[in-house]
Structures are given as C-alpha cells and as structure tokens.
Amino acid sequence: MHKAEGFFVTMAIAGLSLGAPPALAADREPLDARFQQAKPVACDVQCGDVITQHTKLTHDLSCPGTDEPALRIEGDGVVLDLGGHTVRRSSPVQQDTLGIVVTSTSMVRNGTIRGFARGVQTEGVDSLRVHKLTFADNGTAIYNYFSTTYFLITNSRFIGNDAGLGSEIDASTGTFDVRSSHFENNSLGIYLDTHAADVLDSTFIGNGLGIYCFAGGARVRSSTFARNAAVATTTVPIGGRDICDVFRFEDTLIADNASFAPAEIPIWNVVQLDMINNWIVGNDNGLTAGSFQVYIQGNTFWDNAGGLTLGDTPIVSLPQTGIIRANRFLRNDGDGLRVLPASTPTVIGNVALGNTGWGIHAPTAFDGGGNVARDNGAGNCEGIVCAPY
C-alpha cells in the first residue's frame, strides 16, 4: 500500500456528542441504568431455550443449525449475560441458522457468538443494548429484521463476518449507535438501508469494505480506518428512497487503505459530505465525491496516490455549494484539490504543497482568499489566486 514515510501522528480528539435526540436519550437513560444494575442468575441454559428473565450462562453452547434459534429472548428489559462463554453453530451448514433472536427491548453482553447466518436478530424490538460481545464468522453479526430499532453497541468486536451490521431490505429502519468497537476482516463492516449510523471511537481494519450507505446516513467520529480494501461506498444514484443523505467524518484517521471506494462505484455520491479535522494519509488512491453540499475543513491529505476531487451529484440537479477551508494537501500524486465544473464551493485558506499535479484546480469555485500553493508539478492554482507563502 501507499505508505507515508515517517508518519507519526497523535490526535487529541474531542468527540462531539450526537447520540439519540434529547427526548429519546432521556427515555433510554433509566432503561440503560436498569440494564447495568441487573444481576443475572446463573442458569443451566440449553440450546433452544426461551429467556424471559435476567440470565447468565454457565457453559458454552454448541447448537445445531435448525429452523429454531440457539436462544430466544422474550422478556422485556431482560439481560442475557453470556458469562464469557460462546454460543456457536455446530452444524456444517450455516444457511438460515440463527444465533440469538430478540423479540423485546433487551441487553446481550459478555461473550462470543460464532458461525450463524445471523448472530443476533431483532424482531419488532424498540431497542437493543449490546456490550462486550465478539461476533466471529457469522453471515451477518447483528441483523435488524422487520423492526424499527435503536441499537447501542459498545466495546464489541466483529471479526471475519460477511457483514457486521445489517438489516432486512426495504422492511426495517433504525439507528446503529456504535461506540468503542472493532471491525476486522469482515467482508463488510456496516450496511445501511434506511438506517443511520453514529460511529464513535471505533476501528475498521482489514475489511473488504468499511461502510456501505445504500440509503440512510453515517457520522464517524474519532475513529480509524486502516488497511481496508475500500473505506466506504454509496449506491448509484437512481432516485427514490435509495439515497445516501449525509456522510460526515470528524477527527478520524484514514490511512493505508487500498481505495476510498470500490472500483465498480469509484465515487461517493451523497446529498451532503462533511469532513472535519481528519488525517488522510498514505492511501492507494484519492477521494472522489459528488454531493449537493460540502463542508470540508481542517483536513490533512498527505502522501496519498491522489488528492481530493469534488463535483456535483446527479442526486440533486444543482451545482455543488459549500465551504472548503483550512485544509492541507501535501505531497499527493496528482492534484491536491480539484473542483469539477460546474461546482461552486468557496475555497478559502487552504495550503497545497508538493503535489505532482495541480495544487488547487477549481475553475468554477468562489475564491475566498488566503490560499497558498507552491512546488506543485502541473501548476499551483487554476481559477483562484494563490500566494506562494
């Protein structure tokens, strides 16, 4: 991969608070406190059992892959504590197998779920709390099935799954609130179909694809994307509901990835793209994005095999507008920053040094002043005025 020589960076990150809307957050605080105070009773749980009260496993479970789930939770407000144990599929066939099916607001914590077509599946659940779970080698680790569900997922690991988080197409909605969790060697980290994701203090390493925003939106804060085949993708703009609304990356390290987007859809098409105070370093290509609005501020694009290219999106039949301010484009192959006609963002106070193409090429952009460019291979600035220092 395209490595940045001598790259050492310490990011002091102050994450902004998003979470649930205030009313919903207030409603969930007592419930979360109730979960934390629960004292599950150790029980000799067997495959196929229905859990209706706080329960703690006393041993691993190896469950056959039948039409019935390994475990089912039916009690509202119930905590299932795996006690550090593993619930795994014992049959040789994974297809249609279910790990834990949840049918009411509940919490699952402290253990491993391995080898099922769906590790945890929600059915008609308002909210699900997941804490200190490891999901390994499942089809989809957490699957929202015919529900409108708020998921709070903390301190969990998703390793070697086909997908970490997913949902029934056209049949479920919700929010994936992911905190301090780790996604590694999954084919896909998070799939969003009419779902929003709020990802905080999490890592995506060695995945085929980090986030697929088919319909919905994503906010990523204080996180790391490294050595993935592709960071993210959006659906091809075809109208209707299948639109990725907002992509927002804040205080995040995006480094040594093979690409920002898969080759078959090499551009992020979103209604709004926000990138604030990110480090984008040593990636094997540049970022190309089409959007209606942009807010690109305080980012460093350093030693990538391409810079940042912004343009209009067919989602909205109007030129792109917004702000591109106080970014640094340093030693990238190709252009540091390129704004495609007829996009008209305001370009202000950026620095472009030592890129092999143009420093800043923005013939239709508004010149906000204060831009600096020098030692760029094809030329320093086009369409705006840049000072050498």
* Pairing status of strand 328-330 against strand 300-302: parallel
Residue 225 shares a structural domain with residue 91: no
Q: What pLDDT was estimated at residue 240?
A: 61
Cα(259)–Cα(285) distance, rounded to whole angstroms? 6
Cα(82)–Cα(99) distance, rounded to whole angstroms? 12
- pLDDT tens, 72-89? 999 899 999 999 999 999
Residue 235 shares a structural domain with residue 108: no
List phi, psi (to 5°) of 344.
Answer: -130, 45
Q: Is 224 within the bounds of a domain? A: yes
Residue 378 shares a structural domain with residue 297: yes
Q: Is 6 within the bounds of a domain? A: no
Q: What pLDDT was estimated at residue 351?
A: 98
Q: Is 367 within the bounds of a domain? A: yes
CB contact at 8 A, 339 and 359: no
Residue 153 shares a structural domain with residue 213: no
Q: What pLDDT was estimated at residue 28?
A: 66
Q: What pLDDT was estimated at residue 21?
A: 41
Work out the pLDDT band at 235, boundaries 50, 70, 90.
confident
Which of 125, 147, 169 is where one domain is finished? 169
Residue 145 shares a structural domain with residue 288: no
Residue 361 shares a structural domain with residue 256: yes
Q: Is 118 within the bounds of a domain? A: yes
Residue 91 shares a structural domain with residue 40: yes
Q: What pLDDT was estimated at residue 315?
A: 83
Q: How many residues does the chain have?
A: 389
Share of the chain above pLDDT 70, in %: 92
Residue 132 shares a structural domain with residue 222: no
Please say whether the dihedral angle defined by the alpha carbons of residues 18, 22, 28 and 29, taken in this order, is positive or negative.
positive
pLDDT at 7 over 80: no
Mean pLDDT for 205-221 is 97
Cα(126)–Cα(213) distance, rounded to whole angstroms? 22
Q: What pLDDT was estimated at residue 66?
A: 79
Q: Is 187 within the bounds of a domain? A: no
Q: Is 191 within the bounds of a domain? A: no
Residue 150 shares a structural domain with residue 234: no
* Non-local CB neighbours of 263 within 8 Å, separated by 6+ positions: none
Q: What pLDDT was estimated at residue 237?
A: 65
Q: What pLDDT was estimated at residue 236?
A: 73
Q: What pLDDT was estimated at residue 121?
A: 97
Q: Is 57 within the bounds of a domain? A: yes
CB contact at 8 A, 85 and 113: no
Mean pLDDT for 8-31 is 43
Which of 118, 151, 169 is where one domain is finished? 169
- pLDDT tens, 148-164? 999 999 999 999 999 99
Cα(362)–Cα(353) distance, rounded to whole angstroms? 16
Q: Print the domain residue range for 370.
A: 202-389
Locate 174 and state its tokens. Answer: 């919700």
Residue 159 shares a structural domain with residue 297: no
Residue 161 shares a structural domain with residue 255: no
Work out the pLDDT band at 17, boundaries 50, 70, 90.
very low
Mean pLDDT, the chain, whole residue set: 91
Q: What pLDDT was estimated at residue 16?
A: 28
Q: What pLDDT was estimated at residue 37?
A: 81
Cα(124)–Cα(141) distance, rounded to whole angstroms? 18
- pLDDT tens, 296-317? 999 999 999 999 999 999 888 8
Q: Is the pTM of this model over 0.75?
A: yes
- pLDDT tens, 113-145? 999 999 999 999 999 999 999 999 999 999 999
Residue 6: burial class (beta carbons within 10 Å; 0-12, 13-18, 19+): exposed
Q: What pLDDT was estimated at residue 239?
A: 58
Q: Rg of the chain over CA atoms, in angstroms?
A: 23
Q: Say how many domains are in the chain.
A: 2
Q: Is 180 within the bounds of a domain? A: no
Which of 169, 185, 218 is where one domain is finished? 169
Residue 307 shares a structural domain with residue 250: yes
List phi, psi (to 5°) of 342.
Answer: -100, 35
pLDDT at 19 over 70: no
Cα(322)–Cα(145) distance, rounded to whole angstroms? 37
